[in-house]
Chains A and B, each alone.
Chain A
Amino acid sequence: MIQKKICLLGASSVGKTSLVKQFVEGIFSEKYLTTIGVKIDKKTLSIANEQVNLLLWDMEGNDSYNVFQEKYLRGAAGYIIVVDQTRASSLLEGIDIHTLARQVTDCPAILAINKSDLLATWHLDDSEYEAYQDLFALHFLTSAKTGNNVEQMFSSLAELLLKREKNDLTT
């Protein structure tokens, strides 16, 4: 079975743990419980008759209490930058983390704009959207609460990684 390490990165309280919980267990809790350190969950997906085991590294959010540690990205096949659409600052923090991550890996990165069930306080304008399109392999507007786009995001990432692996093998 193919195994892929995926890291969830972003500012604190953007919903990284909730996205993993929704994806792995299909549940959501309204109560915010901050993550400390790292927690790894696993889920196996079946993609085009292939079994892909995703190792989801859910990391403590980055803020003044916890700085980004690039060492955790070692061996990652992809990473997801999670931002909160109710807090514009989380996008800037997410982009900063992405910039730091890019210094150690060039694996595919996904932008997850989370909390889509809540009223957005910021939107990407056309020019920003264009600018960010080049930074990320895929974008998703997700809601860990309703489950909107959660499964789809992880599956698309798995598909992308599988495709890359096949391309690598053939070239």
Chain B
Amino acid sequence: MTSLLNTALNALEQVVLEVTDAKSCTVKLLEGGSTWASDLFPQSSDQQAFTINEDIPFLLDFLIDAKTIWQQQENAKLHSGLWTEITSNNKELHLEAIAIKHQQRNILVISNQLENFKIQQKTKQLAREVLLSYDRLFLKNEYLHTRLLSILNQPTDQSNVLATLAKVIENAEFAVLIASKDFTTSIENSAALSLFKQDDLLRSQSARPIDILITLMKNQLPEYQRILATGSSWDGELCWILPPSTLKWLKIGFYPVKSKNNQVESWIIFANDISTIKHLTQRNELLAMQDMLTELPNRFAFWQTLEEHIASKQAFYLLYIDINDFRRHNEFYGHHEGDKLLIELSKRIRRVIKAVDFIARVGGDEFAIILSGIDNKKACELAIKRIIENINKPFQTKELELFAIKVSIGVANYPNDAESVEELMKFVDLSAYNGKKNKKNSVQFYSKSMKDASHDLIKIEQELRQAIANNEFELYLQPIIDVKTNCINKAEALIRWNHPENGLISPDQFIPIAEKSGLIIALGQWVISRSCQIAKAINQLGYNVKISMNLSPSQVTDVNLFSHLRSCIKDNQLNPGLLELEVTEGVLVDDYAVAEKLLSKVRMIGMSVSVDDFGTGYSSLAYLKKLPLDYLKIDRSFIKEIVTDDNDKAIVRAVIAMAHNLNLCVTAEGVETKEQLTFLINNSCNSVQGYMLSRPIKLEHFIKLLNEQKTIN
């Protein structure tokens, strides 16, 4: 029996050791004994107990965990994971150890995992090589895009800019074009010329690469007009067919270069020839009309089907689903997880639409659906509700981390909204785009008022742009009082717009528009510079008062924010300790990774960070523990009824206690009565802010207030 067992264990490439003394790591060979085992444990040959020592450090380390298994009463098992051991006679072994507690016996199994190792290595090698080459392609594009943007954003009077630019572009391995707003080429590289080379013998005049590209985009992208009108970037595939012999698949990156006021000044266009990859995938006929990743029909198949539906003259609804912040998702979890999400999402949508409906993947993170046989809005809304309910269920990463996504859905009806493929696609795209900036799920039915609203928005945007240029903004300061000293130790900077015709406009009216149009970056930069000037001015008067600035979500993700902050601090020769950043809970949760990086940096230079409107949003305690924070600002809604409402009392007390436990200070917002103030003081709130103490006031009034305070004290 023993000999049979031995034979089996040898065939399985395992040795079984009995642990005679777990404390000293003494073991004795029970069964199994092939050459590799003798190489690994030369001392085991005489069947005597021996000690596992530092000669095999990995195993010795594993025994620390193994001891916890052996010391317990219940049966249990623990795997060490693979490791490679070089034996004293220079043989390479790929092993795994398994600690077993079974019927009160302590066992250690060493398994030679050569086969498993080889399989794993082969699979992972291939997978990692693919990951690597994909990464490189992606990075080459990204890198060049960033570099070009930074060069183009430099002042034009720098004589070496053009030379650098030309060099960078000429060295790119793929086609690069830079064109003005009206598509006059200013730069094109040799790769572009060779990619778009035409058979000149047959043509009297060759078209320029930019003209070919624009024609392709116009013909193949219904969202083309929207991309131009909104200055959006686009990436995707185009097919260039030029009989008799040209058929090229192009991967295009189309990026705007914008001025500080967010106006498109020029376009950067990348084009990669991916015909070979396409050819490989198209060897299978089906793949020509199918998206490889999700196995759904692709953009071209969709186009065809849509035309067929229109030709049939039957009413239908067209949906366009766009995943919000998909790019950020990819950056956060990696492209592999991004692909996994697209597959899962396509499956979920497919499950809830009818068999007669048609779904396709029409872009990177975009899906289009034709809801057939529906001619009323209510039925369409029901179908959308089913889709959203399914999308709302949490997704899971490979590492079992749960996450949620939000989508923007644009809807248009045939024949009421439009009767052609192009118009329909343009309308659903515009509808989805309108909901896109909304962080929640949004459904936008196409309407004429939507078109009008977008015109109004453009008008206010224009005025905002002008306002930035004309310096029509002003910072008001709302004092924050330190409860202990009863003195102003901080002020929140609040922006106001002195509109030349409409007078003072509060931020609620223009910040959302600035957010939506991207102008918030320029506006935010102004707030930062002005806050630094104010902090310096107040400090020069001998006051140690911190200025607290609000950061919008877009600012948190703006890569230039930190360097702008630093240069303002430097320009004003300001102590960074006199500045504070306020971010809302939503930003912290939505953009955790980015926020964490930014906040760590600002705190590193001496600034402080506070969480604004605490309690109104997600209130995730997890981020409070992890993020580098200094203050919590309890939202005014909790303070309002604090004297009469027992729930609010309890919440505020709990928040203060929790914050203090986490070494955070607490500021109460919206303090309006003496009773509220007394409650907060009695409950160890650190500072207070509100109309009772002072409204937001102009700088000169704020200084006056400081002077008065000084006189009283």
Residues of A within 8 A of B (CB): 3, 5, 12-13, 32-34, 36-40, 55, 61, 63-67, 69, 71-72, 74-75, 86-89, 121-122, 125, 127, 130-131, 134
Contact = CB atoms under 8 A, between A and B. Distances in A.
A36 B601 contact: no
A65 B124 contact: yes
Contacts of A74: 61, 64
A88 B143 CA distance: 9
Interface stretch (B78-86, B511-519, B573-581): B78-86
B120 A63 contact: no
Given A38-B81, A121-B143, A63 B128 contact: yes
B229 interface: no
B57 A12 contact: no
B601 to A, nearest CB: 5
Contacts of B82: 36-38
B54 interface: yes
By DSSP majority rule, is chain B's interface helix, strand, loop, or mixed? Answer: helix
A37 B94 contact: yes
Interface stretch (B15-23, B129-137, B198-206, B380-388): B129-137
Nearest to A39: B84
B404 interface: no
Nearest to A90: B135
Given A36-B82, A88-B143, A130-B604, 8 more contacts: A36-B124, A37-B81, A38-B81, A40-B57, A55-B57, A74-B64, A122-B143, A127-B563
Nearest to B126: A34
22 contacts: A5-B57, A12-B128, A13-B132, A32-B125, A34-B125, A34-B128, A36-B82, A36-B121, A37-B82, A38-B84, A39-B84, A40-B83, A63-B128, A63-B334, A64-B131, A64-B398, A69-B81, A72-B61, A74-B61, A88-B143, A121-B143, A131-B601
Contacts of B124: 34, 36, 65-66
B566 interface: yes
Contact of A125 (B64, B136, B563): B563
If over half of A's interface residues share one DSSP class (helix, strand or loop), that class is named, otherwise mixed; here it is loop
A121 B121 CA distance: 28
B125 A33 contact: yes
Interface residues on B, range: 35 or more
A47 B139 CA distance: 41
Contacts of A40: 57-58, 83, 85
Given A40-B58, A74-B61, A34 B121 contact: yes
Contact of A38 (B58, B121, B143, B398): B58
B57 A88 contact: no
A163 to B, nearest CB: 24
A37 B84 contact: yes
B129 to A, nearest CB: 7
Given A36-B94, A36-B117, A39-B83, A127 B61 contact: no
Interface string B41-67: 000000000000010011001001100
Nearest to A61: B128
Interface of B: 54, 57-58, 61, 64-65, 81-85, 94, 117, 120-121, 124-125, 127-129, 131-132, 135-136, 139, 143, 334, 336-337, 398-399, 562-563, 566, 600-601, 604-605
A36 B120 contact: yes
A127 to B, nearest CB: 6
Nearest to B54: A3
A64 B336 contact: yes
A67 B94 contact: no
Contacts of B64: 74
B57 A121 contact: no
Contacts of A67: 399
A66 B337 CA distance: 14
Nearest to A75: B61
A33 B121 CA distance: 8
Given A13-B128, A36-B124, A65-B124, A88 B399 contact: no
A131 B601 CA distance: 6
Contact of B83 (A38, A55, A61, A86): A38
B203 to A, nearest CB: 39
A87 B566 contact: no
A109 to B, nearest CB: 16
Contacts of B57: 5, 40, 55
Contacts of B600: 131
B131 A63 contact: yes
A160 to B, nearest CB: 21
B171 to A, nearest CB: 10
B601 A127 contact: yes
B395 to A, nearest CB: 15
A3 B60 CA distance: 14
Nearest to A33: B125
Given A3-B54, A37-B84, A131-B600, A65 B125 contact: no
A125 B566 CA distance: 12
